[in-house]
Amino acid sequence: MTKILIVGSGGREHALAWRCRHEGHEVLVTPGSEGIASALGVAESDHEGLLALAQREQIELAIVGPEAPLVAGLADRLREAGFATIGPSRAAAQLEGSKAHAKEFMVRHGIPTARHATVRGMVSGLAALREFEAPPVVKASGLAAGKGVIVPETWAEAEEAMRDCLAGRFGSAGDEVVLEERLVGEEASFFVLTDGTHAASFAPVQDFKRLGDGDVGPNTGGMGAYTPAAIISEAVHEQVMTNIVTPTLAGLRSEDRPFVGLLFFGLMIDPEGIAKVIEYNVRFGDPEVQPLMLGLEVPLVPRLLAAATGTLEDQRLPGKPAATVVLASAGYPKRSTKGVEIRGLAELMREAESRDDLAIFHAGTRRDPDGTWRTDGGRVLGVCARADDLRSAIARAYAATRRISIEGGQLRSDIGPRAVAASQG
């Protein structure tokens, strides 16, 4: 048994904690939440407090979940103190911390991606807009909690999005704006666990960023996900490993920027089956991690320890079909309605504890002293199910969501139908 500290408080950290406990390990989570047992309350920004906690609890493996503490260098601090740690160095985490930096890295190392321009003001921005043949995607360069990407349909919308970013819509994250050619194809999420040299790839995932059915409405942190994604065929997998994963790791090594942990490639697969990188993330995606953890068919913790100690082997990490449906609060993503009762949750949680094909992951919840569960954030819960086939996994997840009621709550009703059709040929 390994004693593990997970840093974070959302659905991603709950899914990781669930998996590690499922494998028989002792898990502490901080700052955690009432929905994640063993929450310790030390903030992810309190590096000294986290180091003291790890030392006091004699932690054997630390996992840093969210992007902000990774970009701030928490993994470096933990490793320097002697803890086996899953999380890249601060220098390597800039692949997510700055989209402008990431695009420059891809260009330097010949990694296929969309044409782009980085701007820092409206004058240069308007000039850069004129260089595109169609309205480009507009991205705040810094960390914006998954909401700093605007996909305009018209030139006027592109100009307005750029102006809003530069004017502070996303705070300092929008001081730089990346304009990016809009790629055509199907998106997929590709995750590898790496020790910096070797890579273990998980089953591919597709997530659903837009709020509404049919991919309409504003971008969110993610309204659902499923695995495996049929768009990543065996041929595409090999292409991604050869043309994207291997040169990314080689580029980081050549620049002396150690990367140990989860590397997330947001991909666009064009109609000819060619993959390009939309963006890097330096941790598990949420909700993508939820079906990955529920469906994983091999032990995770031994691989995490191997990555953290530089002994990982190149391998595939197979998983059963699984799907997550996210329940969000009223008003999300513009605002979060807190304090609304979540009816049916306690009973469903008790049932999930006795099943191996269902899990409830808390992202934005709190519990009253009398045991009543209430909303406490935008994305409230991830309801996750697995099965022998994708159709059944999706059906089980939706059946479970129908047992939960949140006044004004939101969910998408179309997580996965296209995937089911594709998997059936």
Six token digits for residue 164: 């809003």
Per-residue b/e over 356-383, b at no fewer than 16 CB within 10 Å?
Answer: ebbbbbbbbbbbeeeeebbbbbbbbbbb
Q: Is 66 helix (H, G, I), strand (E, B) or coil?
A: coil
Domain boundaries, the chain: 3-90, 117-180, 186-423
C-alpha R_g of the chain: 21
Using an 8 Å Cβ cutoff, are 397 and 385 in contact?
A: yes
Q: What is the pTM of this model?
A: 0.92
Question: Would residue 110 be called left, alpha or beta, if left means φ above 0 and alpha means ψ between -120 and 50 degrees?
Answer: left
Indicate the CATH number for domain 3-90: 3.40.50.20
**Cβ neighbours of residue 383 under 8 Å, at least 6 residues apart?**
324, 325, 326, 327, 358, 360, 397, 400, 401, 404
Along the 425 residues of the chain, how does pLDDT read in single tens digits?
Answer: 999 999 999 999 999 999 999 999 999 999 999 999 767 889 999 999 999 999 999 999 999 999 999 999 999 999 999 999 999 999 999 999 999 999 999 999 999 999 999 988 898 888 888 889 989 998 988 887 767 888 889 999 988 988 888 888 888 888 888 999 999 999 999 999 999 999 999 999 999 999 999 989 888 889 999 999 999 999 999 999 999 999 999 999 999 998 999 999 999 999 999 999 999 999 999 999 999 999 999 999 999 999 999 999 999 999 999 999 999 999 999 888 899 999 999 999 999 999 999 999 999 999 999 999 999 999 999 999 999 999 999 999 999 999 999 999 999 999 986 665 555 54
d(CA 221, CA 211): 9
Give the model's pLDDT for residue 147: 72
CA distances from 87 to 65, 118, 269 (A): 8, 27, 27
Q: Is 323 helix (H, G, I), strand (E, B) or coil?
A: strand
Give the model's pLDDT for residue 422: 53
> For 422, which DSSP code?
H
Query: Residue 210: exposed, middle, or buried by beta-carbon count in 10 A (0-12, 13-18, 19+)?
Result: middle
Give the model's pLDDT for residue 30: 96
Amino acid at 57: E
CATH architecture of the domain covering 117-180: 2-Layer Sandwich (3.30)
Give the model's pLDDT for residue 424: 53
d(CA 82, CA 85): 9
d(CA 287, CA 275): 22
**Alpha helical stretches, state H, 137-178:** 155-166
Same CATH fold, 186-423 and 117-180? no
Give the model's pLDDT for residue 421: 56
Fold of 186-423: D-amino Acid Aminotransferase; Chain A, domain 1 (3.30.470)
Q: Minimal CA–CA distance to 351: which of 396, 284, 299?
A: 396
d(CA 139, CA 47): 29
